[in-house]
Amino acid sequence: MNPTSGRSVWQAPTLTTGLDARVDLPGSKSITNRALILAALADGVSTVTGTLRSRDTDLMLDALSALGIGVDADIDDPTRVTITPAAMHDADVDCGLAGTVMRFLPPVAALATGTVHFDGDEQARSRPLHTILNALRGLGVDIDGDGLPFTVTASGSVPGGEVTIDASASSQFVSGLLLSGARFDDGVVVRHSGRPVPSMPHIEMTVDMLATAGVVVDRTEADTWCIAAGPIAAVDWSIEPDLSNAGAFLAAAAATGGTVSVPRWPASTTQPGAQIVDLLVQMGATATLTDGLCSVTGPASLRPLTADLRAVGELTPTIAALCALADGESVLSGIGHLRGHETDRLAALSTEINRLGGDCTETADGLRIVGRPLHGGVWHSYADHRMATAGALIGLVVEGVGVDDIATTSKTLPDFPGMWSAMIGEQ
C-alpha cells in the first residue's frame, strides 16, 4: 500500500502514570448530518443544538448552504445552528472524504432546480458510489458519472417509486434514499438484494429520526423499506455525544488498566458506537453507567476477542489496535465491507500492525490478530481518522510510535491531539 503521508509525524504520548480521566465529547457526526438533511427538507425552520463542528459536518453545512438552504450558526455557540429550508439551485458540492455527504446529498440535490456538481478529495474518488447513483437513475434522476466527480441535473422534483439495490457495501446507500424519500412524488420503496447490509444500527438510527420528523417507514417485508410521499416536520434536534469517537478514549482505559469516564452517555441510543462498552468488557474491562456517566476500567492484561463486527464496523480500527496488544489470538469477522471505507481499512490495519512488529493477517471478511510485543515506528493514517486514533491508542503503551497525518482526525473530532494529551494529563 502507498499510505497518504501528512506534512509531519505526531509523536503519540506514552502513558507513564495511572490513567484516571473524564472526557467530554462533542456531538455525534452520524446524528448531526442526518438531522441537517431532515431540517433542510422540512416544512419549517429547525434548530440543531449540539451540532458537531468537524470537517465532515462543516462540509454538509457548506453543501446545504451552496444549494440555497439557510444555514445560520449562533455567533456565541457555533454548535447551535438554525436551518431554514428554501428552493434549491445550481451548486458545487465538496464532499471531502465524508461518506454521509457523498451518499446523503445526491438525493437532496435531485430535488433542486439546476445542475449540482459533486467532487471531493482525491482519495474519495475511489469510494463506491454507483449503488446510490444508479438507484437515483432508477427513480428518475439525471446523473452523469458513476463516482466522484459526478453531476446531478435536477428539475425540482423526483418521480420516486421502487428501486432494488445491493447495499452490502454500505448502509449509507439505504439511509441516503430514505432521508429524502418522503419528498419524492411517489415516495420510495428501497429493496436490498445481496449479502447482509453492514452497520444495520445506522439504518435504525435513520428510521428512528425519520419517525421523530413524522415520517413513517414501513418495514413489514424483510430487507425492504417503504416511505409514502408526504411532509417532513421541522424538529428542534438535540445531538447526543459521539459514541464512536468515545471508543478510542474508553479503549485507552482498557489498554492501560486505567479508568476513563464519558459524561452525558445516553441511557438508550441508536448509535452503534455504544457497543464499544460490551466489546471492551469481553476483553476483560469493567464498565458502569451511573447518572449518564459511562466509566470503563481496564484489566491487568487484555483478553483476545472473537467477534462479528458487521454491525459496528466503524469500531474495527480501535478494536484491532487493542487485539494487537492482547494476550492471544483474536478473530474479527463480518467486516469485508471496510475495504471500501476512507481507505481499505483491513489492508491498512494489517500493514501498520505488522510494521510495528505485530502479527495481523487479512481473512476473506476480517482480520486474524495474534498479540505480540510491539515496537515503535511510524503508523500511517491513510487520511483515515479511525486509523489515526488507532495509532494513538497503541502509542499509549508502546514507546516511540509516531502517527502520520494526525490532522485527519478533524474529520469527526476537531481537536483530537489536544483531547488525547489532556486525557493523560499532558497540556
Following DSSP, what letter does each residue of 61-101 receive, concatenated? Answer: HHHHHHHT-EEEE-SS-TT-EEEE------EEEE-TT-HHH
Distance between start and end Cα atoms, the chain: 35
> Hey, is 270 helix, strand or coil?
coil
Does residue 83 share a domain with residue 16?
no
pLDDT score recorded for residue 126: 86
Cell numbers 516511540: residue: 400
Does residue 393 share a domain with residue 273?
yes
Q: Which of 168, 193, 226 is the last residue of a domain?
A: 226
Does residue 142 share a domain with residue 19?
no
* CA–CA separation, 183 and 158 (whole Å): 8
From the number of C-beta atoms within 10 Å of its C-beta (0-12, 13-18, 19+), residue 290 rates as exposed
Q: Is the pLDDT of residue 59 over 80?
A: yes
Do the domain assignments include residue 250? yes
pLDDT tens for 328-337 read 999 999 999 8
Do the domain assignments include residue 236? no
Report how far apart, in Å, the C-alpha atoms of 1 and of each of 4, 5, 176, 425 are.
9, 12, 31, 35
Report how far apart, in Å, the C-alpha atoms of 19 and of each of 257, 300, 372 are.
8, 13, 23
CB 314 within 8 A of CB 344: no
Q: How many CB atoms lie within 10 A of CB 413?
A: 25
DSSP class of 55:
H
Q: Which of 163, 196, 226 is the last residue of a domain?
A: 226
CB 269 within 8 A of CB 240: yes
Do the domain assignments include residue 3? no
pLDDT score recorded for residue 5: 45
* Helix residue spans in 139-268 (DSSP H): 172-181, 200-212, 243-256
HSE, CB side, 13 Å, CA atoms: give it for residue 156: 3
When pLDDT is averaged across residues 83-99 and rounded to a whole number, the result is: 96
pLDDT score recorded for residue 7: 57
Do the domain assignments include residue 385? yes
pLDDT score recorded for residue 18: 86
Do the domain assignments include residue 1? no
CATH code of the domain in which 339 resides: 3.65.10.10
171 is in an annotated binding site: yes
218, amino acid identity: D
CB 379 within 8 A of CB 402: yes
* CA–CA separation, 383 and 395 (whole Å): 18
For 99, phi then psi, to 5°, come to: -60, -35
122 is in an annotated binding site: no
pLDDT score recorded for residue 180: 98
- From edge to edge, which strands make up the β-sheet containing 366-370? 306-308, 329-333, 366-370, 359-363
pLDDT tens for 156-208 read 999 999 999 999 999 999 999 999 999 999 999 999 999 999 889 999 999 99
Does residue 38 share a domain with residue 170?
yes
* CA–CA separation, 30 and 176 (whole Å): 12
DSSP class of 241:
B
Do the domain assignments include residue 233? no
Q: Which residues of 105-137 are buried (b: 16+ CB within 10 A; e: fewer)?
A: bbbbbbbbebbbbbbbbebbeebbbebbbbbbe
Residue among 314, 342, 362, 399 flagged as catalytic? 314
Do the domain assignments include residue 231? no
Nearest to 105 by CA among 123, 120, 125: 120
Does residue 20 share a domain with residue 69?
no
391 is in an annotated binding site: no
Does residue 219 share a domain with residue 207?
yes
172 is in an annotated binding site: yes
Does residue 211 share a domain with residue 95?
yes
Q: Which residues of 220-242 are buried (b: 16+ CB within 10 A; e: fewer)?
A: eeeeebbbbeeebebbebebbbb
Task: Give the three cell numbers for residue 125.
Answer: 474518488
* Domains: count for the chain: 2
- Across the chain, mean pLDDT equals 95
Cell numbers 449503488: residue: 131
314 among known catalytic residues: yes
When pLDDT is averaged across residues 133-148 and rounded to a whole number, the result is: 96
Q: Is the pLDDT of residue 427 over 80?
A: no
410 is in an annotated binding site: no
Q: Which of 175, 194, 226 is the last residue of a domain?
A: 226
- From edge to edge, which strands make up the β-sheet containing 237-238? 70-73, 81-84, 46-49, 237-238
Confidence of residue 318 (pLDDT cuts 50, 70, 90): very high
* CA–CA separation, 355 and 377 (whole Å): 7
Does residue 327 share a domain with residue 269?
yes
Compute the Cα dihedral for 318, 321, 323, 325 and give only its sign. Answer: negative
> Hey, is 145 helix, strand or coil?
coil
Does residue 334 share a domain with residue 214?
no
Does residue 286 share a domain with residue 220?
no
Does residue 413 share a domain with residue 276?
yes
| Residue 279 structural domain | 9-25+242-423
Q: Is the pTM of this model over 0.75?
A: yes
Does residue 106 share a domain with residue 205?
yes
pLDDT score recorded for residue 4: 45
pLDDT score recorded for residue 426: 61
Do the domain assignments include residue 2? no
> Hey, is 286 helix, strand or coil?
strand
386 is in an annotated binding site: yes
Confidence of residue 127 (pLDDT cuts 50, 70, 90): confident
pLDDT tens for 204-225 read 999 999 999 999 999 999 999 9
* CA–CA separation, 245 and 28 (whole Å): 8
CA 18 to chain centre: 31
